[in-house]
A = this chain, B = another copy of it.
Amino acid sequence: MKKFLNATDTLLTESLGGFALAHADIIELSAPPYVIRRKQPKQVGKVALISGGGSGHEPLHTGLVGLGMLDAACPGQIFTSPTPDQMLAAAQAVDTGGGVLFIVKNYAGDVMNFEIAAELLDSPNATVLVNDDVAIPKSQSTGRRGVAGTLIVEKIVGAAAEQGADLAACKALGERVNQNTASMGVALSSCTVPALGNPTFTLGEQEMEMGVGIHGEHGRATLPLTTASAITAQLAAHIDDDLKPQANAQALLHINGFGATPLMELYLIYALAAEHWQQQGVNIVRSLVGNYTTSLDMAGCSITLTLLDDEMLRLWDAPVHTAQLRWGC
Contact = CB atoms under 8 A, between A and B. Distances in A.
> How many protomers of this protein does the assembly include?
2
Interface of A: 2-6, 11-12, 14-19, 21-23, 55-56, 58-59, 63, 188-189, 205, 208, 225, 227-229, 231, 253, 259-272, 274, 284, 287, 289-291, 294, 296-297, 299, 301, 321, 324, 326-329
B326 A326 contact: yes
A225 B264 CA distance: 29
B17 A262 contact: no
30 contacts: A2-B188, A2-B208, A2-B225, A4-B268, A4-B301, A5-B228, A6-B227, A6-B229, A6-B268, A11-B265, A12-B264, A17-B271, A18-B267, A18-B268, A18-B274, A19-B267, A21-B271, A21-B274, A22-B267, A22-B270, A23-B287, A63-B263, A259-B260, A259-B262, A260-B260, A260-B297, A260-B299, A261-B297, A263-B294, A327-B329
A259 to B, nearest CB: 5
A203 to B, nearest CB: 8
Contacts of A262: 56, 58, 259, 294, 296-297
- Interface majority SS (helix, strand, loop, mixed), chain A: mixed
Contacts of A301: 4
Given A4-B228, A58-B263, 4 more contacts: A4-B231, A14-B272, A22-B270, A63-B263
A244 B141 CA distance: 59
Given A264-B15, A264-B55, A3 B188 contact: yes
A4 B287 contact: no
A214 to B, nearest CB: 12
**Which among A63, A189, A270 has the highest number of chain B CB atoms within 10 Å?**
A270
B287 A58 contact: no
A269 B227 contact: no
**Which among A17, A262, A297 has the highest number of chain B CB atoms within 10 Å?**
A262
Contacts of A326: 326-327
Nearest to A205: B2
Contacts of A19: 267, 270, 289
B271 A189 contact: no
Contacts of A284: 21
A264 B299 contact: no
